[in-house]
Structure 1
Amino acid sequence: MRSLLDLIYRAAGGLAALFMIATLAMVLTGIVTRLLDIYVRGTDDYAGYCMAACGFLALAYTFKHGEHIRVTLLIDRFAGGTRRAVETVALVVGAVVAGALAWYSLRLVFNSYEFGDISQGVDATPLWIPQIGMAAGTVVLFVALLDDLLLTLAGRPVARLKSHSNEPARVE
């Protein structure tokens, strides 16, 4: 199960990287075509869609690398069982928030599809398509938070993704 979860987190991170490159491609396309007096419709809109997908898909990957900004000012003051309890509460709150965000993101995609919503820009893209990146990213973040929560409740150290260098994986 650990290898499957890690594969999901890495896949989301890889997709985020691809969407980052796509954002760059859209921005550069817009700049170059404007300089050449060529009109390519929707480059600004598609750059925005790619940027949103990149940001949301990177959430779980970044979290599982331990790279999210975490407020440890309070948690670091505790040790042992108290620290574990405070971290558990933080993970529960995070999982509830991420779960709600995932639920409503999925509903947004479904409703946009059902109602046939299209973007207001010149691209007239069905909105459910770019919203998939946000929904997928929030679902994977929810899974990552549940992963850490279940490990913490079991008294096991949280699993961090190993970097591709020779450095060992960090454990909090």
Structure 2
Amino acid sequence: MFSQINRFNALLSVLCIFAIFTLVLLHVILRIVNLYIPSLNEISGYLLICSFFLALGYSFEQAKHIRVSLIFELNNPKLSHLAELISYALATVVSIFISYALLQLTLDSYQFKEVSSGEIAILEWPIQAILVYASVLMTLTIGFKGWEVLRGHR
């Protein structure tokens, strides 16, 4: 259901990684002529965390995430199905908590106009809003995958 959005987010994730590569390469080249990019580490960190969160939904949907499937490979199909349902339910609850906590953090950052502590003062809430968006999408993806397992589809 969310596959197009997740694919778009995966593309954005790749673009974030490419931006990190470009910034670091530019930084190396500029160091030759004794110039530097202020707050490069901070900007790269923000791009990296955005890249990570944007790729979460896609990796879960495509089953490219780290998944310990040992408990799903039981000899009893009913028990295996139940274990998978419990896993999806727990993952959904944890994802809801993460999304809620990130939303609260973002709202606080917006309300108090928090900025980063680097050389360049960067507003924190726009970056955190990307994390909220990506974590909510991941939560919905996990929930709908769990719903498919509940209905008997895989």
1:100 counterpart residue number: 97
Q: SS state of the match for residue 30, structure 2?
A: helix
Determine which of 58, 61, 66 is the counterpart of 2:58. 61
Q: How far has the Cα of 1:78 moved from its partner?
A: 3.9
- Report the AA paired with residue 56 of structure 2: L
2:73 is equivalent to residue 83 of structure 1: no
Where does structure 1 lack aligned partners over 5 or more consecutive residues?
Answer: 158-172
CA distance in 2, matches of 1:32, 1:131: 31
Aligned length: 154
Determine which of 20, 24, 28 is the counterpart of 1:23. 20
CA distance in 2, matches of 1:99, 1:51: 22
Per-residue deviation, residues 68-116 of structure 1 (Å, max 9, x unmatched)? 1111122212442211110000000001011110111122111111111
Structure 1 runs (4+) deviating above 3 angstroms are none
Please tell me whether the aligned partners of residues 114 and 123 of structure 2 are also in contact (alpha carbons under 8 angstroms). Answer: yes
1:167 counterpart residue number: none
Q: How far has the Cα of 1:124 moved from its partner?
A: 0.6
CA distance in 2, matches of 1:73, 1:84: 12
Per-residue deviation, residues 133-153 of structure 1 (Å, max 9, x unmatched)? 322221111011011111111
Structure 1 length-normalised TM: 0.84
Q: Percent identity?
A: 25
Where does structure 2 lack aligned partners over 5 or more consecutive residues?
Answer: none
Q: How far has the Cα of 1:8 moved from its partner?
A: 1.3
Structure that is richer in helix per residue: 2
CA RMSD, Structure 1 to Structure 2 (Å): 1.3
CA distance in 2, matches of 1:39, 1:24: 15
